Amino acid sequence: ELLAPRENLFQGQHILITAGPTREAIDPVRYLSNHSSGKMGYALAEQAQRLGAKVTLVSGPTQLPVPTGVDCVQVESAEQMLNAVQQAVSASSVFIACAAVADYRLANVAEQKMKKSQATMQLQLVRNPDILATIAARPDAPLCIGFAAETQDVAHYAQDKLTRKKLAMIAANDVSDQGIGFNSDENAMQLFWHDAAGQLQQRDLPRASKGHIAAQILRQIKELPSS
Ligand code: CTP
Ligand code: CA
């Protein structure tokens, strides 16, 4: 909406984006998931495509239409999302991990619908692979961009993820802030990256539509020292 349609910032580049939640099966009729709508990731896919990139969107279950011209791979679980990302990553120069990946999955998925019995029950969970950290650790890693939705100490946790996951940039937001974030059409973000001298840099993107935020994130990616 705020970009000249003919801008060709990413002409000839392939951008890989994850979006939406993942679903981790409990039994054939139940799952663990989260409130991610996928709107931010889909907005990034749409804007990247408008800026001339070839876009592959690996998406968990959402209610959203796939943006025109975007190649979309639909997945459910974190493991499926990792597989789809690994299939597409070698062709990509930029990887943007916008998905709200479930941190854990069931240790054992019941083959049949579980029946209720006791008054309490326990589910055993095991850690899911970290898709972004896995990709960023590859010798042929593309430029890796992370997101961090936090409810407290946003800058602290975001900077920790930037360094620990070896990212080129992280986009952080405070999801405790009412009216923005997960299911909203608007967002406000803080971007963190390291400049060519290794100094931490920060840019605040004030509250705006997710399309506008997406366009600003993509412009900043283009400005990164490693870009
Ligand atoms: N991410 C990922 N795979 C996972 C978990 C997270 O690719 N299994 C990515 C997200 O898409 C996001 C970034 O890592 O870009 C940070 O996700 P977040 O949930 O904020 O961080 P975690 O490392 O999972 O830490 P925690 O949930 O404990 O804050
Ligand atoms: Ca997490």
Q: Give yes or no for residue 103 CB within 6 A of ligand 1.
A: yes
Could you tell me the distance, in angstroms and rounded to a whole number, from the CA of residue 119 to the centre of ligand 1? 33
pLDDT in tens, 34-86: 999 999 999 999 999 999 999 999 999 999 999 999 999 999 999 999 999 99
Catalytic residues: 34
Helices (H), 129-178: 131-136, 154-164
CA 84 to chain centre: 14
Task: Evaluate if residue 3 carries a pLDDT over 60.
Answer: no
Distance in Å, CA 34 to ligand 1 centroid = 13
Which residue carries 């392939």 as its tokens?
Answer: 14
Q: How many CA atoms are closer than 13 Å to the CA of 119, on its beta-carbon side? A: 0
Pairing of strands 186-194, 169-174: antiparallel
Distance set, CA 206 to CA 85, 111, 151, 176, 186 (Å):
30, 47, 17, 16, 10
CB of 148 closer than 6 angstroms to any ligand 1 atom: yes
Atom of ligand 1 nearest to the CA of 148: 20
Kindly list the distances between the CA atom of residue 35 and the CA atoms of 13, 73, 101, in Å, as whole numbers in the listed order.
Answer: 31, 20, 11
Instruction: Give, as one character, the DSSP assignment of residue 9.
Output: T
Tens digit of each residue's pLDDT (9 = 90 or more) over 95-110: 999 999 999 999 999 9
For the CA of 145, the nearest atom of ligand 1: 15
> Distance between alpha carbon 192 and the CA centroid of its chain, in Å?
16
| Structural domains of the chain, ranges and CATH numbers in brackets | 14-103+121-223 (3.40.50.10300)
Is 101 touching ligand 1 by the criterion CB < 6 Å? Answer: yes
Look up residue 210 and give its two tokens: 């997710």
Q: Write the residue with the smallest CA distance to atom 18 of ligand 1.
A: 148
Q: Is the pLDDT of residue 27 over 90?
A: yes
Contact at 8 Å (CB) between 109 and 125?
no
User: Which of 146 and 181 is assigned the larger pLDDT?
Assistant: 146
CA distances, 91 to each of 4, 15, 132, 140, 196 (Å): 27, 9, 16, 10, 25
Q: Does residue 154 have its Cβ closer than 6 Å to ligand 1?
A: no
- 136, burial (CB in 10 Å: exposed 0-12, middle 13-18, buried 19+): buried
Residues 163-208 pLDDT 10s: 999 999 999 998 887 667 677 888 899 999 999 999 999 999 999 9
Q: Residue 16's pLDDT band (boundaries 50, 70, 90)?
A: very high
Asked if this assembly's ipTM is beyond 0.85, the reply is yes
The pTM for the full model equals 0.95
